[in-house]
Chain A
Amino acid sequence: MRFWRKVIAITGKDAVSEMRTKEIVPSVLVFALLVMVIFNFAFGARQEMMALIAPGVLWATFAFAGVLSLNRSFVLEKEDGCLEGLMVCPISREVIYVGKMLGSLLFLLIIEAIALPIFAFLFNLAVLSLQMVVITVLTTIGFVAVGTLFSALAVNTKARELVLPILFFPVVAPIIISAVRASGLALSGEPWSGLSPWLQIIGAFDAIFLVVSFLVFAFVIEQ
Chain B
Amino acid sequence: MKESYVARSGLLGLSFILLVVALYLVFIYVPTDETIGIVQRIFYFHVPVAWVAFLAFFIVFIGSILYLWKRESKWDIIASSSAEVGIVFTTLVLITGSIWAKPIWGVWWVWDARLTTSLVLWLIYVAYLIVRAYAAEEHRGARFAAVVAIVGFIDVPIVALAITLWRTQHPGPVIFQGGLAPSMLLTLLVCLAAFTTLYFLLLIQGISIKNGEGETKRLRELCSWGYNKGGE
Q: In the complex, what residues of A have CB within 8 A of residue B162's CB?
A: 173-175, 177-178, 201
Which residues between 92 and 131 of chain B lie within 8 Å of chain A, taking CB atoms?
Answer: 120, 123-124, 126-127, 130-131
Q: Say which one of A13-21, A50-58, A213-221 lies at the interface with B.
A: A213-221
Total number of B residues with any Cβ neighbor in A under 8 Å? 29
A124 within 8 A of partner (CB)? no
Interface string of B157-172 (1 = CB under 8 A from A): 0110111011000000
* Partner pick for A163 among B130, B152, B155, B163, CB 8 A cutoff: B130
Are B151 and A213 within 8 A (Cβ)? yes
Size bracket of the A interface: 20 to 34
- Chain B residue with minimal CB distance to A197? B165
B144 within 8 A of partner (CB)? yes
Also in contact, A163 and B134, with CB within 8 A (given A146-B151, A171-B155, A197-B165): yes
Also in contact, A167 and B127, with CB within 8 A (given A174-B155, A174-B161, A219-B147): yes
A72 to B113, CA, bound (A): 34
Are A157 and B68 within 8 A (Cβ)? no
B154 within 8 A of partner (CB)? yes
The A interface, classified by DSSP as helix, strand, loop or mixed, is helix
B88 within 8 A of partner (CB)? no
B135 within 8 A of partner (CB)? yes
Are B136 and A157 within 8 A (Cβ)? yes
* Partner pick for A219 among B68, B131, B161, CB 8 A cutoff: B68
B140 within 8 A of partner (CB)? yes
* Partner pick for B158 among A157, A162, A205, A216, CB 8 A cutoff: A205
Are A170 and B120 within 8 A (Cβ)? yes
Q: In the complex, what residues of A have CB within 8 A of residue B152's CB?
A: 170-171
Are B120 and A166 within 8 A (Cβ)? no
Are A212 and B151 within 8 A (Cβ)? yes
B150 within 8 A of partner (CB)? yes
Which residues between 160 and 198 of chain A lie within 8 Å of chain B, taking CB atoms?
Answer: 162-163, 166-167, 169-171, 173-175, 177-178, 181, 197-198
Q: In the complex, what residues of B have CB within 8 A of residue A198's CB?
A: 165
- Chain B residue with minimal CB distance to A159? B134
Q: In the complex, what residues of A have CB within 8 A of residue B151's CB?
A: 146, 149, 171, 209, 212-213, 216
* Partner pick for A212 among B120, B124, B154, B165, CB 8 A cutoff: B154
A146 to B159, CA, bound (A): 14
**Minimum C-beta distance from A65 to chain B (A):** 21
- Chain A residue with minimal CB distance to B143? A219
A80 within 8 A of partner (CB)? no
Additional pairs, 18, CB under 8 Å, beyond known A166-B126, A222-B143: A146-B151, A157-B134, A157-B135, A158-B135, A166-B127, A167-B127, A170-B124, A171-B124, A174-B155, A174-B161, A181-B166, A201-B165, A209-B151, A212-B154, A216-B68, A216-B147, A216-B151, A220-B143
15 contacts between A and B (CB under 8 A): A149-B147, A153-B131, A156-B136, A158-B134, A158-B136, A162-B134, A170-B123, A178-B162, A181-B166, A201-B162, A204-B158, A216-B151, A219-B68, A219-B146, A220-B144
